Amino acid sequence: MLYITGFAVALVLALGLTPLVKRFAFKVGAIDKPNARKVHTRIMPRLGGLAIFLAFIGSFFIVLPFIPDGLLSAYDRNLIRAMLAGGTIIVLTGALDDRFELSAKVKLLLQLVAASVVVFGFGVKIDLLNIPFGQSMQEISGWISIPLTIFWIVGVTNAINLIDGLDGLAAGVSGIAITTILVMAFVLGFEPIILMSCLLLGGILGFLVFNFHPAKIFMGDSGSLFLGFMLATLSMIGFKQVTVVSLITPLLIIGVPIADTFFAIIRRWVNKRPIFAPDKGHLHHCLRELGFSHRKTVLIIYGVAAFFGFAAIVQSTFVQSHAANWVTFVVISLLVFFMQIGAELIGIVDKSKRPLLSLLARMRLKPDQQRGK
C-alpha cells in the first residue's frame, strides 16, 4: 500500500507542478528556440525536469513518516540520501543550463561533482561484479571501483541527455527503464529500490501528460540529466546490494540510450567528426527520415526500450542458475545481432555501408547460384 500511495502522490504532484514550472520557465527565460537541428517550430519552455524532481522529492517526504520501522535500514537510508544529494546537484546543473546554456566542460565538471558526492560523501560504489563466464561474484579493489562508479554515473547521465530529441522520448524511455528496475526489485524483494522507483515513476508519468507529442513543455537538461543520474544510481545500487544481478543487467535496462550513444560515437569516428559534436544521426532522427511520424517514432523506440527491459528481466532471472553464463551469452549475442541489423537498415552509422546485410545477402544467393550451375 505504501508503494501505491507514494506512486499516486508523486503522480498528482507532477500533474499539479508541471503547469506552474511551465509558467516559471517563461518568466525566467528558460526557453528552447527552434533551429536547424531541432524538430520543433515554436519557442518552448524548458525546466520540465524541475517538476519531476519536485514531485519525486515532495512525495518522498510526504510518505516518509508512514514508512514502517524496519523497512529501511541505516544502510538503505544512506543510499537514499546519496541519491537525493547527488540528484539535487544534477538538477541544479541542468536548470542552470536550461537558462544560461552552460559549456560542455562546466556541465561535465558539475556531473563529476555529483558523482563524487555519491562515492566519497556517502561511500556508495560498485564493488561486486558478476562477470559472465567468470567465477561467481568478483570483488574489485577501491582504485578500480571508484573511477568505475564515477564513469558509470556520468556516462548514463549523459546517455539519457543524448536521446532527448523528441516529445516524450527521454521521459518515456526512462519510465520504461524505471519500470524494469521496479519489477526486478519487486521480484528480488529489495524494498528501498521499490519505493524510490515508484516515486520516480509517478513523477515521470505525471510530467509525460504534458510532454508527450504535441508537448506543452520540454524537460530540458534539468530533466534528462536528473533521470539519467537516477537511472545510474538505482541500477548501480540494485546490482551492488543484490548480488544475483549480473554486470550485464544494468546495461540492458538502459539499452536504448547506451546503444544510441555507442552508435553516435562510431558514426562520428567514421565520419571524422569530433565525438561530442552534435548531429542529426541519432535513432529518432533516422526513424523520422524513414517517414515515420513524430508519435510513431517515439512509440517504436518505446517498444525497443521495452524489449531491452524484458531481456534484462530474463537475464537476471536466470543469473543464479547453472545456465546463467549461457543465458547471458545468448541474450547478448541476439541483441547485438539485431541491433546491428537495425542500425544498418536505418543508417544510423553510415547510410551507404551495410556489411552484415551484404554478407547475409551473399549467403542467401549462394544456393541459387549453385543451382544455376
Cα distances from 63 to residues 84, 179, 350, in angstroms, run 15, 20, 50
Q: Please report whether residue 370 resides in a domain.
A: no
Count of domains observed in the chain: 1
Task: Determine if residue 161 is labeled as part of a ligand binding site.
Answer: yes
Q: Which string of DSSP letters, residue by residue, matches 161-228?
A: HHT--STTHHHHHHHHHHHHHHHHHHHHT-HHHHHHHHHHHHHHHHHHHHHSSSPSS--HHHHHHHHH
Residue 193 counted as domain residue:
yes
What pLDDT is recorded for position 247? 56
| Higher local confidence (pLDDT), 328 or 357 | 357
Q: What's the confidence (pLDDT) of residue 23?
A: 96
pLDDT exceeds cutoff 90 at 13: yes
Query: Which amino acid would we find at residue 110?
Result: L
**In this structure, is residue 373 part of a structural domain?**
no
Q: Which domain holds residue 30?
A: 2-364
In a domain, 369, yes or no: no
pLDDT (tens digit, 9 = 90+) per residue, 137-156?
Answer: 455 555 778 888 899 899 88
pLDDT for residue 175 is more than 90: yes
In a domain, 57, yes or no: yes
The mean pLDDT value for 281-306 works out to 87
- Reported as a pLDDT band with limits 50, 70 and 90, residue 36 is low
Q: In the structure, what pLDDT confidence band is assigned to residue 236 with cuts at 50, 70 and 90?
A: confident
Q: Which range is least confidently modeled, 54-58, 315-319, 361-365?
A: 315-319
Report if residue 114 sits inside a domain. Answer: yes
Please state, in angstroms and as integers, the Cα–Cα distance from residue 277 to each residue in 162, 269, 281, following that order.
Answer: 11, 11, 11
What's residue 244's pLDDT?
Answer: 39
Q: Is 211 labelled as part of a ligand binding site? A: no
> What's the pLDDT score for residue 303?
92
